[in-house]
Structure 1
């Protein structure tokens, strides 16, 4: 479980292809207190640490993870967002992020609005039903607030600090981003899907 608050960016040091893919990431902060078997989100993808040194960690990447995320596009030298798993008892910024990617989006517009940057991201329309204006969404593992929810896209506003401290500062039109919708929206869909919305509202005293 993660929060979508990026702790640092790391650099892909090595990618080893074989019967499975192993990725080695150079970093510093997320290594503090980390041990083999712990989880680290890489561009929003939950990976398990399989090896580590004083300046890097390694993780195995399953074929399904490569198919479902933009990790398949990484190269040696690529910059990635990193976050250690949520520690119980600490303040929780952002929102609940599982590290399980729903789809890969594509940046189709990026513009500056005063001190903020507005990103317009196209996604498969089957996932827009989970996105709501002012709701939460994780983009490459970054917890962001939705500004506009369209038929097959959404927009987010990004503050200068986030641009400076995450990979969004390097990304532009045409680049891919991992998308994880708010898990709460899926539970709501499952609940409502079994009942008429009016009956559900009556049962809970809203009408």
Structure 2
């Protein structure tokens, strides 16, 4: 489990295709400081299992399902990525419950810079719309954000200076693809209500 509070901006060092899968090597000084084989690290919101760690670089295998559902299908060496280690039971939950199980992707539609923040609008796949509510939580590229508005096919968020400076969203432009994870609690509530 993660919180959606990005610990550092990392960099993809290499991408090795393996048939329908891929192996990524990612540089991240903070997340590798105590990482070991089998640990979970979220890369742009995708929970991945560490295969190896060496010299501040960790490697992960990315399966077909993950490539199909996330922006990692277009990952390239040199790209910056948001990194977060799995939360420990004795830590504060600073963002919201984030599983690292990406529900789909969205495109950045528009960006309006404000005095101290940016208002950003993203596309919203129709199958995810029912899980997104104004003032609810959503994870965009692994970043815990509050939804400021939502309509049939898009939603908005406001990005504070810290988010703009310390995550990939500060550099994202119109048309860029991001990973979405809706609130897992909304999905469980729907399942309980529908199956009764």
Q: Which TM class, normalised by the smaller chain length? A: over 0.9
Separation in 2, partners of 1:114, 1:59: 39
Partner of 1:201: none
Measured against aligned partners, the alpha-carbon deviations of 1:19-68 in whole angstroms (never above 9, x if no partner) come to: 33100011100012211100000000000000111220000000111111
Partner of 2:17: 17
Q: Mind listing any 5+ residue stretches in structure 1 that lack a counterpart?
A: 196-207
When structure 1 is superposed on structure 2, of 64-73 and 13-22 the one drifting more is 13-22
| Deviation of 1:149 (Å) | 1.1
| Deviation of 1:18 (Å) | 2.1
- Per residue, is there more helix in 1 or in 2? 1
Separation in 2, partners of 1:161, 1:28: 19
Separation in 1, partners of 2:18, 2:63: 11
Contact 2:33/2:56 (<8 A) preserved:
no
Partner of 2:154: 153
Measured against aligned partners, the alpha-carbon deviations of 1:79-132 in whole angstroms (never above 9, x if no partner) come to: 000000010111110000000010100001011122111110002112111000
Partner of 1:76: 77
Separation in 2, partners of 1:68, 1:164: 27
Separation in 2, partners of 1:64, 1:92: 28
Partner of 2:116: 115
Partner of 1:198: none
Contact 1:118/1:158 (<8 A) preserved:
yes
When structure 1 is superposed on structure 2, of 94-103 and 184-193 the one drifting more is 184-193
Separation in 2, partners of 1:123, 1:4: 19
Which structure has the bigger radius of gyration? Answer: 1
Separation in 2, partners of 1:74, 1:170: 16
Moved over 2 A (4+): none
**SS in structure 2 at match of 1:31:** coil
Separation in 2, partners of 1:104, 1:21: 19
**SS in structure 2 at match of 1:190:** helix
Partner of 2:48: 47
| Deviation of 1:190 (Å) | 1.3
Partner of 2:189: 188
Partner of 2:137: 136
What TM-score, normalized to structure 1?
0.92
| Deviation of 1:72 (Å) | 1.0
Contact 1:103/1:123 (<8 A) preserved:
no
Separation in 2, partners of 1:21, 1:151: 34
Counterpart check, 1:62 vs 2:63: yes
Separation in 2, partners of 1:160, 1:73: 27
